[in-house]
Structure formats: C-alpha cells, structure tokens
C-alpha cells in the first residue's frame, strides 16, 4: 500500500513538471494543497523526500518563463512553495540550482503595483531568505532596494503586503553582507524614520506587526559592529528609549517592546568592568612557585568585537551539538581501577587518624572528646553547650542546660517521630505565609518581646545606645577582646555589655570562644575585624519564607534604567565609595550615602559605586589568584534610612542563569534586629532579576579569545531601621571559624562514656590553617574482647563538604549531620553503635576564609584535583584521598562516600552517583549485560531519601559519568577505591518545587534537617542490605514498634514526593532577553505566522483586491 502511495505521489509530481495543460496543472496543485493542508508535517516531509520541492520549483520556472505567465497557476504554486519551503532545509540551495531565485525576483518587480500577486511573491522570497546563502544572493541581485519600494511611510493601503516586505527584509539582514550593504547605503536611518512614522501615526496599534518587522530589521543589522555604530550615530538609542518608556505598560505593544529592548541592549556600547585589574584584589604566593605577573590594567583597546568576524552559517548545514557528548563511553576507563597515586608505604601515616582501630578501651576513654585546644577553652561559656543536643532544637530555654532534661526533650522530638508524621515538624504553616519582609512583619507585632518570650528594651529608644559605637560593635577588631590597650577594648567591652543585656543562647555557638578561634584563623590579608553575625550567631526564624513572586516586567524596567545611564549620563553620580584596591578611606563620614565594608572572614565585596541617590553598583572580588568565579558575596552596609528602597546591582556575576530569576532572594542580617532578640539571617529583597549586561572581560585575560560576558544581579532592599548596620550575603554564611567553634562545643557536649568524638588535624592548608577531621562512633559497651571486636569492625561511612567555598549551604547540611550524629536521638545512637563516621567538614578552609566562591589559594577548583593531587599544592585533597586509600588497603572500604555541595541553578536536594551501564545507555552505546556486571544498589540510598526527606527529589538525581567530571571526588572514589555508593549531594541555594516544602526557600533549619535525614537514610540503607546483622534488625524493629512501620510511612511519603519531572536546569526566564548574535530565536514563530497567512489566503480567494490600473502583466520573462 505504501508503495502505491509513493508511486502515486511521484506520478503526480512528474506530471506536474511535464504537463503544459493548465487544467491538469491546477488539478494537481489542488490535490497537493488538499493533501498538505491537513494532518501533520510528516506529509510535507514525505513529499520533500520524493522530490516535491524540485518539482514545484521547476514548475515555477517553467510557468514564469512562458510568453504570458498564468497567475491562476502561479498563485496556488507560490502558496505551496512557501508551505513546503519552510520545512525543507535545502530549499534555498535547490532554488539557486534551478534559477528560481532570479525568476521570483523578476516576478516581484513586475508586480509592484499588483498587491495580491506581490504578496505571494514576497511569501516565497521570505522562505528563500531564511537561508543565509540564498539571502546573500538575493541581496546581491537588488532585493533590498526592491523591498524599500514596497515599504512605504504610514498608509492604510496594502498593509498586508508591507508587513510581508518588512519580514523579508528582516530575514535578508541576517546575512553579514546584506547588513553591511544596508549600513553603507544609509538604511539604518531610513528604517528608524520609517518606524518613527508608523509609530506616531498608528495610534490604535493596528499595525504593530509592521512596526515589529521594521525593528527586526534594525535588530539584525545591530548584530554586527558596523550596524551598532550606525545605529548609535543615528541617535537610535535615544529614539527607541523614548518610545519604549511611553508604551512599556501597553500589553498590545508587547511584540514591539520586546524587540526594542533587544536592540537597546545590543547597541549599548560594551565596556570593561570599572576595575583596575580583572584579577583578584588579593594575591597569595604559593611556596615553591613563581608568582604570576599581574595582568595589565583594563582598557578599551583590550576589547575586540567579534561580531563582524563571524562565519555565516546556514540553518541548512547547522551542526547540532550532541546532548550527551560529554559522557564517558570508554568502557575501559569506566571499569578499570587505576593503581595508587603514591608509594604504598606512605599510606601508613593515616594509621594515626584511625586510632579507634588500635587503641584499648582505657586509651579510647581517655582520648575521646579531649582534642579541643586548651588555649581556647578558657573563653568557652558552657551555657552555650547543649549536652547530647537534639538537631531540631535551635533555640534553647535558659533552664535546659542539664543533660537529663535535654535528653527528655530530644526523645519527644526525635527524627523518627518527624518522619512518621509524614512531613517535617518545622514551619507547619509556612506555605500560607505571604511573601513579605519578615523584619517588618515582626515589628508590626511589637518590638518588646524576643523570640524566647522575654521582655527586652527597645533599641530605638535605649538610653545606652548613644554610648556605643555602633560601627565598632558591628565589626569589632579581634584584638578588642584580648588587647590591654584602651581604645581597641572599647568594642569588646561593648559586645560584653550587649551579651549581658541581650543574652541569646544559641546551641553550639559561643561569641567569646568564636573570637578566640578567630584570632587563630589565618587569612591572606590578615583580617583584623570580625563580622557581627558571626560573633552573635544565627537563630532560624520561626517560619520558612516563600519564594519571591516575580513581578511581570521588572527586568525590563531595570534594563531601561541601565540604558538611561547612557542616554542621560548627567543623572549618574558615579562615585566610588568603597574599594579594596584603594588603601585609603573613600567614604565621607558626613555623606548621606551608604557605607560598605567586607574585610572580614568570608567577606566578599571589592568595590561599591554610587550610581544614583539610592542605587549602587557593586563588584565582587574574584577568587584569590584568579580572574573569575564571581558569585559569592558577603558584606556590611550601614548608614541607611528606614523604609527607603535601595537598589543594589552586582554587575560582575559570571553564570548565565541563576535561581535569582526563579524566586530566590539574598540573605540579610540586621544588628538592631539581633539586639531586639531576633538574631537571624533572613531572605530579603524584591524586584530581583538576573540578566546579561554590557560589561565584557578583556580579550587578553582569556588568552586572546573573545572576552566573556558578565551578568547583573539586581535587587531592592528596604532596611528595617534607621542607621542600622546590616549584612547582605549570597546565602547563609558559615565561616571556618564558626566550624572550629562548633566542633569544640560539639566535643564538649557529648557524654564521653557513650560517644566517641575525636577531632584532629587532617593536614594544614596552604594558608596555614588546620583542616579538621572528625571521627564519631559509639564507645564500646565494655572493655571485653567481644565488645572491642565489634567496636573495631564497624564499617566506615565517609562524608566531606565545602570543597567549594561559596557553597555555604553544604556547611549547614553538614552542621545538621554532625549535631544529629552526637545527639541522643535513638536513630543516632543506632548509627553510632553500628558505624564509624569519618567526616571532613571543610575541604577548602582557605577559600572559605578569604571569601572565594570556587577555588583554593592557588586559584584552582579543588574538586577537579582528585586524580593526581600533590601534597604541597592540594594538601586537603591529597590527604583526604590518602585516608580513603588507607581504609581500602586495610579492608575497610567505606559503605558510602558522600561529598556535600550546593547548586545554583536547580531546586531541591538531590544526588549525583556513578553507573557504567546508565552512562553507556544514555550515550547510545550497546551494553552487553553478560560482559558488564554492575551492582544496582547505588540507586537505593537516593530512593530512600526521596521517600524520607521533604527536600529531596529522585527526579533530579543522575548517575552518569562525564568526561569533565573524571577528576571529581565522586568519580575518583568510585573508580579508584571501588566505592559503588560514591555520591555528590547537591542542595539548592533556593528551595523546593515539590513535596511539603514546595514554594518555600530553604532556611538553615531545612538544610540542617537534610543533614539529619541523610543519616537516617544511611541507617535504612543498612537495614535493607543483605549484610545487616540480626542484632541491628532487632534493635530497629524495637525502635520502630513494628518491622514495617517505617516502610509504611516511607511508602505514604513517596506518593506525594518527587512526582514532578525536573529539568536539568531551569528553563529560560519568561522575560529572559537573548543578547547573543544569533538573531533567529523567533524563527519558528515567524514561520508559524507565515503558515497562518497562507492558509487564510487560500480560504479567502475572493478577498477584495485594490483597484489597480495596470491590471495583470502579460510580458514574457527572458
């Protein structure tokens, strides 16, 4: 049957080409039209495969070259050609070979006064012009000059034809040669005038699509440098800016507004960042290496516009990048286990880090929990140590300091109880909470009660406030707490007074101990100050915050405000008020502008420029010894006025998209709010958007390649108090000093007779900071041989975090893990009794301390150094890998290895794992099950977490092994150590779009809860394994009251969790403006519209035609 259909179609096409009978030709065209007007595009593609395009084009040429071209044939033929040509990628080349281009151009010239015929000619030219090659040929043959005869100033006649002509011209101008020709002939000015004329007369927006067509012509010309220069010279920026401002709120103008904004952004002159150098303001000389020469200062000459050098590319021959071309498809590389990367005898140095395997019970008892620095212990306030704390008790009451009382409370809120309720106990009413400034919400309920329910003085009217130096309190010197000199101690004494007046007991946080630890933290530039939030501490707010609902049009408004700087430069203040590159003070104390500061641990702000009275451009510092990785920010701002919206623009971000476009907000900490009993980092800001700006990195900094683009994160903050001191950060900060303080307090919180908690130094970093290694397990029940044997044969679990300094969410997840593992929760007790946990909570202390986002002090990503780390260059990675090799060498391969990370472009929490079969299958490689065996249990833990943790989703998990990830911890531990359950756990900076937390941003509570849930997942993983001991099964059954109780709750959870399909990254924002030089983003939409016009015309053949004196031409075409 199919053969008969094929032969029938071929007969029709052959007859069409050979017949000279008008009736036969019209009948065939009618049949073909009917066939292609229904069904899907498959019919058209089938016809194309049988030579349909060639047959139609040949018929066009033969008919047009007759002595008297018959338009009864030509018009339906044009409609068919346009319809088929849209789907034939080689249509332009076929038209060239059959000389159909010249024929169509001649017919177009002959019909300038016959609107209906001309419209059909233009439709076919539109399809020809979609190929850059044929478009360029049409330009050479005078097509653009011809079209300008059709595109007239405003008129109500022949508007359909004029619209078609603008669309053809816009398609032609995608060609570089045509755009250059248009610039040379002054068409830019002509197009601007035509657009102004149509805009001014079209008061009812009847002909918006004609105006859009004219703008598309300008947009395509502006793709090239000469076109942008001509546009600027013709005052195009001022013209379009004025028009856009007047019609921004008119929804009927949407097709025009979007293109105008594209043009304004394209033509905004590119410029270097306002920095002395692209490299970091901080430099670190790595021992044993030669410091790199600093790059030269930025200048305009460093910028090369690559626009005119682009190779013209047809859609016909466009190379499509394979979606999975990064997947590792070499089975040998996926399956082989490389040898040691160091001499085997070197592994013995790690024996001292596994003392739990060799010490006697007496030695263990004397050593455990006694590793904290005695020099710092004198500063410890033991009221801040919740003994055997529950991970869910974030704010303790004053009388909850006894171990027994704490234990009782812990049992009441155990993690297992939380799971059995079907969702987290945290923030039960969060989803009903409207989006608002949480500080203002608190203020509206009264300032006299703190979160503990205690009366406190109003800081706004406190008589003691005048006696304090708010600036000194907000960022005190470390020496203020320890120096004997008078002036530095004032800040320390003020802090002490505040601690007495406003006591705030935050679990596992002690301001005095923190300051003592901060003195020992070594930074590149020797920070002298400590940020107030880090000293005072953070207590999560009582409810989670919803994701910010994005206002429609906010990005456009911000972009127009940026363009206004160019069109009205006199309105811009452009005053530098803070800079790490200037050693002298820049801020005028008498000035009304904001004051900025960032020279403290984890701080990152390089420069602040006042643009307008309440608007500031901010630049983030690059990672130390690097010219890139600008994402993390953390800085102090003061001198504000309450209830004034301040706009902040961080103008040198690097990632092309961000969760800031999808509901995420930055975080804010207010000093005055903290003293009012609310020491919390909260999400803040509105009018948030993230978009590409006009700044470019100099070409020299990228090795001569085209300079990279930068992006702006803009947000508006309304501060809660006058003359407050606030801190703004990308995410909830968690410093190295906070970790070291936390570990000391954790060690003091445990009952040493029950919990083995050992903190030691894995190694020292390049910056001279100790990298902590923590071991947690249960003490043996007794010193009997059986109990010691069980103690020493517990399997290992290895967890690491914070290899990327800017991923502070990973530290909050780790905090939840650590606190849960030492708690008296029954699940934690079972975990300790059955496993030994080796934890490296911060793999990149130097990066965290110095405010880096991605790198170490050498300017390299440490999570790309696991293949061949060197002790003197990547010490933390070298020794972490060495410790893992040692465990494997003594037969103690970890059950699970997991590296905690943060993710900036996806929501929820999810795992990345490793699978040979899934990788090969996804890459399209044939996999023989008989020759390739793989344990599929790598999927078990993520499946458990998917059912267990409210924030976790299985749908975002991936188990593919990419070539670009070959040197990451996850892949190296999987390949070299043979740990099948080797994972990276990614936590979103933003929040959840599924499950109980859907629509909420993550707070520190949710992140810490995820850390605890991960631990529970490890227990359930063991219960599901065939190697699980009967003793553990019995203990778990007793704990759960019934063997299937937890499974029941997990099954119930799974029905509502993770049933949403998750894309790898967020889709493009609704308002996302494409500034790339590829201007074909709406080609499919244009073709759909052309299809519609052709169909409408075919159904309305009796459409009224304008009276034209000339009538149909009968001249023959040579």
| Residues paired with 595 in a beta bridge | 638
Quick check: helix, strand or coil at residue 764?
A: strand
Q: Are 547 and 990 in contact (CB under 8 A)?
A: yes
| Residues forming a β-bridge with 761 | 772
Q: How far apart are CA 36 and CA 302, in angstroms?
A: 54
Q: Which two tokens stand for residue 822?
A: 């030492």
Q: How far apart are CA 241 and CA 235, in angstroms?
A: 10
Q: 357 φ, ψ to 5°?
A: -85, -15
Long-range contact pairs involving 781-787 (C-beta distance under 8 Å, separation at least 24): 782/361, 783/360, 783/361, 783/362
Place of tokens 């338009």: 71
800 forms beta bridges with 840, 899
Give the rounded distance of the alpha carbon of 381 from its chain centre: 40
Judging by DSSP bridges, how do beta strands 725-729 and 634-638 pair with one another? Answer: antiparallel
Instruction: Please give the Cα distance from 749 to 38 (Å, whole number).
Output: 75
Tokens coding 651: 């103008």
Beta strands 634-638 and 595-597, pairing class:
antiparallel
Residue 1046 token pair: 């937890």
How far is residue 53's CA from residue 954's CA, in Å, rounded to a whole number? 48
Q: Are 776 and 757 in contact (CB under 8 A)?
A: yes
1118 vs 1111: CA distance, rounded Å:
21
Please tell me which residue in 833, 986, 1022, 1071 is annotated as part of the active site: 986
C-alpha gyration radius of the chain: 35
Q: How far apart are CA 769 and CA 1090, in angstroms?
A: 66
User: The tokens 């990276």 sit on which residue?
Assistant: 984
The closest alpha carbon to 1092, from 116, 160, 91, 426, belongs to 160
| Nearest C-alpha neighbor of 594 from the set 563, 566, 615, 565 | 615
Nearest to 995 by CA among 1059, 912, 903: 1059
Give the closest residue to 622 by CA, choosing from 638, 635, 633.
633
Q: Are 486 and 539 in contact (CB under 8 A)?
A: no
The helix, strand and coil proportions of the chain, stated in percent and rounded to the nearest 5, come to 45, 10, 45
C-alpha to C-alpha distance for 510 and 526, rounded to whole angstroms: 23
Secondary structure of residue 775 in the 3-state scheme: strand
Q: Is 661 helix (H, G, I), strand (E, B) or coil?
A: helix
986 tagged catalytic:
yes
1067 burial type by CB count under 10 A (0-12 exposed, 13-18 middle, 19+ buried)? exposed
Residues in CB range of 292: below 8 A, 6 or more apart: 625
* DSSP secondary structure letters along 791-859: HHTPPEEEEEE-SSTT-HHHHHHHHHHHHHHTS--HHHHHHHHH-EEEEES-S-HHHHHTT-SS--TTS
Task: Determine contact, residues 88/316, Cβ cutoff 8 Å.
Answer: no
Q: Report the C-alpha gap between 284 and 736 in whole angstroms.
A: 18
Three-state DSSP class for 649?
A: strand
The beta-strand segments (E) located in 747-790 are 755-764, 770-778
Phi-psi region of 685 (alpha: psi -120 to 50; beta: other; left: phi over 0): left
Question: Across the strands, what pairs with 477?
Answer: 529
The residues assigned a catalytic role are 986
């Amino acid at each position: 049957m199919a053969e008969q259909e094929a032969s029938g179609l071929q007969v029709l096409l052959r007859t069409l080409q050979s017949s000279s009978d008008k009736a036969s030709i019209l009948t065939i065209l009618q049949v073909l039209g009917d066939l292609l007007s229904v069904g899907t595009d498959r019919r058209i593609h089938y016809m194309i495969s049988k030579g349909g395009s060639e047959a139609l084009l040949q018929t066009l040429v033969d008919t047009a070259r007759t002595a008297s071209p018959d338009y009864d044939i030509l018009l339906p033929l044009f409609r068919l050609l346009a319809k088929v040509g849209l789907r034939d990628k080689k249509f332009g080349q076929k038209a060239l070979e059959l000389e159909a281009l010249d024929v169509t151009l001649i017919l177009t010239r002959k019909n300038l006064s016959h609107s209906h015929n001309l419209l059909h000619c233009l439709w076919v030219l539109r399809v020809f012009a979609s190929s850059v090659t044929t478009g360029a040929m049409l330009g050479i043959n005078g097509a653009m000059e011809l079209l300008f005869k059709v595109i007239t100033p405003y008129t109500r006649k022949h508007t359909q034809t004029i619209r078609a002509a603008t669309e053809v011209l816009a398609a032609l101008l995608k060609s570089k040669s045509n755009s250059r020709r248009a610039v040379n002939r002054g068409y830019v000015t002509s197009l601007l005038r035509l657009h102004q004329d149509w805009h001014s007369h079209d008061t009812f927006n009847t002909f918006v699509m004609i105006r859009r067509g004219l703008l598309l012509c300008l947009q395509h010309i502006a793709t090239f440098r000469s076109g942008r220069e001509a546009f600027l010279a013709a005052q195009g920026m001022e013209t379009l800016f004025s028009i856009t401002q007047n019609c921004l709120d008119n929804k009927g103008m949407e097709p025009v507004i979007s293109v105008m904004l594209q043009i304004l952004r394209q033509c905004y002159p590119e410029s270097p960042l306002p920095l002395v150098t692209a490299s970091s303001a901080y430099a670190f000389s790595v021992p044993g290496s030669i410091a790199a020469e600093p790059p030269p200062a930025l200048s305009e000459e460093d910028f090369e516009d690559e626009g005119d050098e682009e190779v013209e590319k047809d859609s016909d021959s466009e190379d499509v990048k394979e979606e999975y071309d990064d997947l590792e498809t070499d089975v040998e590389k996926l399956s082989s286990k490389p040898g040691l990367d160091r001499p085997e005898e070197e592994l013995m140095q790690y024996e001292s880090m596994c003392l739990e395997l060799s010490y006697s019970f007496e030695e263990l008892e004397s050593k455990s929990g006694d590793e904290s620095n005695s020099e710092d212990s004198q500063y410890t306030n033991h009221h801040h140590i919740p003994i055997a704390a529950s991970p869910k008790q974030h704010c303790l009451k004053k009388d909850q300091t006894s171990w027994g009382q704490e234990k009782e409370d812990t049992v009441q809120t155990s993690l297992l109880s939380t799971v059995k309720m079907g969702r987290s106990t945290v923030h039960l009413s969060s989803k009903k909470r409207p989006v608002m400034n949480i500080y203002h919400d608190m203020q509206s309920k009264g300032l006299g009660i703190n979160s503990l329910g205690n009366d406190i003085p109003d800081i706004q009217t406190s008589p003691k406030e005048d006696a304090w130096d708010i600036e000194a309190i907000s960022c005190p010197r470390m020496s203020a707490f320890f120096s004997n000199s008078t002036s530095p101690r004032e800040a320390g004494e003020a802090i002490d007074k505040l601690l007495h007046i406003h006591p705030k007991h935050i679990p596992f946080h002690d301001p005095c101990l923190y300051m003592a630890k901060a003195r020992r933290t070594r930074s590149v530039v020797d920070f002298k100050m400590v940020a107030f939030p880090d000293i005072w501490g953070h207590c999560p707010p009582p409810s989670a915050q919803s994701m910010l609902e994005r206002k429609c049009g906010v990005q456009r408004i911000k972009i127009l405000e940026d363009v206004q700087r160019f069109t009205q430069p006199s309105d811009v203040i452009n005053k530098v008020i803070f800079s790490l590159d200037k050693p002298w003070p820049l801020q005028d104390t008498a000035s009304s502008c904001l004051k900025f500061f960032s020279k403290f641990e984890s701080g990152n702000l390089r420069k602040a420029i006042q643009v307008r009275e309440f608007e500031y451009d901010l630049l983030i510092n690059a990672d130390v010894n690097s010219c890139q990785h600008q994402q993390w920010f953390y800085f102090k701002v003061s001198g504000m006025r309450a209830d004034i919206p301040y706009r902040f623009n961080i103008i040198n971000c690097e990632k092309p998209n961000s969760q800031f476009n999808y509901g995420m907000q930055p975080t804010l900490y207010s000093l005055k709010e903290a003293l009012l009993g609310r020491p919390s980092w909260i999400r803040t800001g509105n009018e948030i958007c993230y978009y590409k700006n006009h700044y470019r990195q100099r070409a020299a900094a990228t090795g001569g390649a085209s300079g990279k683009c930068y992006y702006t994160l803009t947000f508006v903050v309304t501060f809660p108090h006058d003359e407050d001191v606030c801190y703004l950060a990308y995410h909830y900060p968690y410093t190295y000093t906070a970790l070291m303080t936390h570990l000391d307090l954790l060690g003091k919180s445990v009952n040493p007779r029950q919990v083995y908690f050992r903190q030691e130094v894995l190694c020292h970093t390049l910056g001279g900071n100790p990298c902590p290694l923590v071991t947690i397990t249960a003490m043996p029940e007794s010193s009997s041989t059986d109990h010691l044997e069980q103690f020493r044969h517990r399997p290992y679990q290895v967890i690491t975090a914070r290899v990327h300094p800017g991923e502070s969410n990973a530290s909050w997840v780790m905090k939840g893990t650590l606190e849960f593992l030492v708690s008296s929760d029954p699940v934690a007790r079972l975990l300790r009794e059955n496993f030994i946990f080796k934890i490296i909570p911060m793999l990149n202390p130097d990066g965290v301390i110095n405010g880096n986002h991605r790198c170490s002090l050498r300017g390299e990503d440490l999570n790309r150094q696991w293949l061949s780390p060197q002790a003197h260059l990547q010490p933390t990675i070298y020794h972490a890998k060495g410790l893992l090799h040692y465990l494997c060498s003594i037969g103690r391969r970890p059950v699970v290895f997991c590296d905690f990370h943060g993710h900036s472009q996806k929501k929820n929490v999810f795992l990345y794992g490793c699978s040979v079969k899934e990788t090969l299958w996804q890459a399209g490689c044939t996999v023989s099950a008989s020759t390739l065996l793989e344990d599929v249990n790598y999927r078990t833990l993520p499946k458990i977490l998917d059912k267990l943790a409210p924030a976790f989703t299985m749908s975002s998990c991936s188990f593919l092994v990419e070539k670009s990830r070959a040197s990451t911890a996850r892949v190296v531990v999987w390949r070299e150590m043979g740990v099948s359950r080797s994972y990276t756990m990614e936590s979103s900076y933003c929040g959840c779009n599924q499950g109980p937390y859907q629509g909420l941003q993550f707070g520190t509570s949710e992140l810490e809860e995820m850390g605890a849930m991960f631990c529970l997942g490890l227990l359930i993983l063991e219960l599901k394994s065939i190697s699980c001991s009967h003793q553990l099964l019995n203990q778990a059954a007793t704990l759960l009251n019934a063997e299937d109780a937890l499974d029941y709750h997990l099954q119930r959870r799974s029905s509502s969790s993770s049933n949403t399909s998750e894309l790898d990254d967020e889709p493009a924002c609704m308002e996302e403006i494409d500034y790339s030089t590829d201007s074909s983003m709406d080609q499919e939409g244009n073709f759909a519209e052309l299809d519609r016009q052709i169909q409408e015309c075919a159904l309305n053949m009796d459409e009224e035609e304008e009276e034209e004196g000339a009538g149909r031409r009968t001249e023959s075409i040579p």
